């Protein structure tokens, strides 16, 4: 049985077709009769929906139900080989591309550094990256049904879906309807979301937060941000900027300080603190990795820097937990990939937070590490496909036609 928590791009009305496909995907093999019972549908209605989904190639009959004295019913399962989706993460160090099945299994990965500082450079570079990834995956024509994109900035849903701003690193992404631009460029539907938000979704769907409905994913890198999943849904806030915890003010003295384009917390507790210490004049550390290795071995200077960083992060987590009351806090981003991250960061932070919030929630290191946002982008693309299959005007002429219509509407 598949996991019940499954994030999809928001839709106003979830059709019976969408619900049927979701049940088959998560709980198949399953019969028409059971689908009708679960969704309170008539048997003929359930049969028509199942037949349409089967003709479209999204589900297939995989056997018969157990004998109960009556006629054996056909059992249907989701076809994860009906097509592929593409996940794209515009990371600060490199862009990553994944091609995955409709069940989220990544079958191909590529990566490349990108320079997205100017507006004109964005689309040509992304076009080259995506086309190379698809060609590398297969020499033959493959059906890429949808794309999910993780962006290091605020992604607005209104008034223009997929409008990006506040991208501090890649200035070329700012103040543009990037989602519709990519839909026109690639000719397929695109789901776009902030990278930390999608990292939270990735951890909920494929990582250490599976099975949890209230989750704080804390990204710690050069910047600091949080992805908030509340009651199984991504929380964006009024202006879609929820989770910008890098701006959190930890002490009242900080109210009178300026931090330039950065926030208070990320200036005090970001990975740059380790980078600065490892690169300081006379420093014996060759890199942040060496810095952590030496701290783990007992080097007092390195341990002092990490202790200060942990104190700020613990204060931020205490504040987040006090307001949100999540089941689990996941520490991700660059921090999760550092040597001995469990011993140097997670364990000390847990000890500090217990003084104020007890033993709950659990604090865990990201299982997906730097791949969390990419997994989230894959899940977002899968959601686009499933929503398209559930459209009220769905017919059996083929999934690609439905998706093409969706792309035309979005453009």
- Are both 361 and 376 inside the same structural domain? no
- Are both 386 and 255 inside the same structural domain? no
**Residue 171: predicted pLDDT:** 87
- Are both 270 and 330 inside the same structural domain? yes
101: three-class secondary structure by DSSP: strand
Identify the CATH number of the domain in which residue 36 sits.
Answer: 1.10.10.10
- Are both 44 and 72 inside the same structural domain? yes
Q: Is residue 2 part of a domain?
A: no
Handedness of CA 373, 20, 143, 398 (dihedral sign): negative
- Are both 383 and 262 inside the same structural domain? no
- Are both 323 and 192 inside the same structural domain? no
Q: Give the pair of three-digit tokens for residue 145.
A: 């049904």
Q: Where are the alpha helices (DSSP H) in 207-364?
A: 264-269, 272-279, 288-297, 300-324, 341, 347-357
Q: Is residue 92 part of a domain?
A: yes
Domain of 149 in residue numbering reads as 84-198+372-410
- Are both 221 and 352 inside the same structural domain? yes
The span from the CA of 278 to the CA of 284, in Å, is 7
**Residue 277: predicted pLDDT:** 87
How many separate domains does the chain show? 3
- Are both 258 and 404 inside the same structural domain? no
The span from the CA of 15 to the CA of 41, in Å, is 12
The tens-digit pLDDT sequence of the chain (411 residues) is 344 444 445 443 457 888 888 899 888 899 999 999 999 999 999 999 898 888 878 889 988 876 554 555 899 998 887 889 999 999 877 899 999 998 889 999 999 998 888 899 899 999 999 999 998 887 656 788 899 999 998 999 888 989 998 888 788 999 999 999 999 999 999 999 999 999 999 999 999 999 999 999 999 998 899 999 999 999 999 888 899 999 999 889 899 988 887 899 999 999 998 998 888 877 888 889 999 999 999 999 999 999 999 999 999 999 999 999 999 999 999 999 999 999 999 999 999 999 999 888 999 999 999 899 999 999 999 988 888 776 644 433 333 443 334 333 333
If you count DSSP H runs as helices and E runs as strands, how many of each does the chain have, helices first?
14, 16
Q: Is residue 9 part of a domain?
A: no
**Domain edge (last residue) among 57, 78, 99:** 78
Q: Is residue 7 part of a domain?
A: no
Q: Is residue 111 part of a domain?
A: yes
Q: Is residue 150 part of a domain?
A: yes
- Are both 263 and 359 inside the same structural domain? yes
**Residue 398: predicted pLDDT:** 38
- Are both 397 and 257 inside the same structural domain? no
Q: Is residue 10 part of a domain?
A: no
Q: Give the pair of three-digit tokens for residue 385.
A: 């496909």
Identify the CATH number of the domain in which residue 162 sits.
Answer: 3.30.420.40
The span from the CA of 316 to the CA of 265, in Å, is 8
**Residue 71: predicted pLDDT:** 55
Q: Which residues contact 95 (CB under 8 A, 6 or more apart)?
A: 88, 89, 111, 112, 113, 114, 126, 129
The span from the CA of 104 to the CA of 380, in Å, is 10
- Are both 358 and 392 inside the same structural domain? no
What does DSSP say about strands 215-220 and 163-165: parallel, antiparallel, or unpaired?
unpaired
Q: Give the pair of three-digit tokens for residue 21.
A: 């496909």
The span from the CA of 356 to the CA of 214, in Å, is 20
Q: Is residue 5 part of a domain?
A: no
**Residue 286: predicted pLDDT:** 85
Q: Which residues contact 342 (CB under 8 A, 6 or more apart)?
A: 365
**Residue 350: predicted pLDDT:** 95
**Domain edge (last residue) among 78, 105, 124:** 78
**Residue 399: predicted pLDDT:** 39
What distances in angstroms separate CA 355 from CA 158, 221, 348, 351, one per listed residue?
41, 26, 12, 7
CB distance 399 to 384 below 8 Å: no
**Domain edge (last residue) among 46, 78, 110:** 78
- Are both 127 and 71 inside the same structural domain? no
Nearest to 312 by CA among 217, 215, 227, 220: 220
Specify the pTM. 0.84
């Amino acid at each position: 049985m598949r996991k019940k928590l499954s994030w999809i791009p928001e839709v106003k009305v979830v059709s019976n077709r969408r619900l049927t496909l979701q049940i088959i995907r998560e709980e198949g093999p399953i019969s028409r009769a059971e689908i009708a019972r679960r969704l309170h549908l008539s048997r003929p209605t359930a049969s028509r929906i199942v037949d349409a989904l089967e003709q479209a190639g999204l589900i297939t009959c995989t056997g018969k139900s157990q004998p109960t004295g009556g006629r054996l019913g056909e059992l249907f399962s989701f076809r994860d080989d009906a097509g592929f989706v593409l996940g794209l993460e515009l990371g600060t160090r490199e862009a990553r591309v994944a091609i995955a099945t409709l069940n989220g299994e990544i079958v191909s990965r590529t990566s490349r550094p990108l320079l997205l500082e100017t507006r004109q450079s964005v689309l040509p570079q992304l076009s080259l990256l995506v086309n190379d990834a698809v060609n590398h995956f297969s020499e033959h024509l493959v059906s890429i049904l949808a794309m999910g994109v993780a962006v290091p900035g605020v992604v607005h849903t209104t008034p223009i879906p997929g409008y990006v701003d506040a991208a501090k690193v890649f200035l070329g992404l700012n103040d543009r309807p990037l989602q519709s631009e990519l839909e026109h460029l690639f000719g397929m539907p695109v789901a776009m979301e902030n990278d930390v938000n999608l990292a939270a979704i990735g951890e909920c769907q494929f990582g250490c937060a599976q099975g949890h409905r209230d989750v704080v994913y804390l990204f710690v890198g050069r910047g600091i941000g949080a992805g908030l999943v509340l009651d199984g849904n991504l929380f964006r806030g009024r202006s879609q900027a929820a989770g910008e915890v890098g701006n959190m003010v930890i002490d009242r003295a900080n109210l009178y300080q300026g931090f330039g384009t950065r926030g208070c917390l990320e200036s005090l507790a970001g990975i740059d603190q380790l980078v600065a210490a490892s690169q300081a004049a006379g420093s014996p550390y060759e890199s942040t990795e060496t810095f952590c290795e030496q701290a783990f071995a007992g080097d007092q200077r390195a341990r002092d820097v990490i202790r200060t960083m942990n104190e700020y992060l613990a204060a931020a987590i205490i504040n987040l937990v006090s307001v949100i009351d999540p089941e689990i806090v996941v520490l991700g981003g660059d921090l999760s990939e550092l040597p001995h991250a469990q011993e140097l960061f997670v364990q000390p932070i847990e000890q500090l937070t217990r003084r104020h919030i007890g033993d709950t929630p659990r604090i865990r290191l990201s299982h997906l590490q730097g791949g969390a946002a990419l997994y989230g982008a894959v899940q977002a693309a899968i959601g686009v496909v499933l929503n398209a299959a559930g459209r009220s005007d769905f017919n059996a002429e083929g999934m690609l036609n439905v998706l093409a219509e969706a792309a035309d509407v979005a453009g």
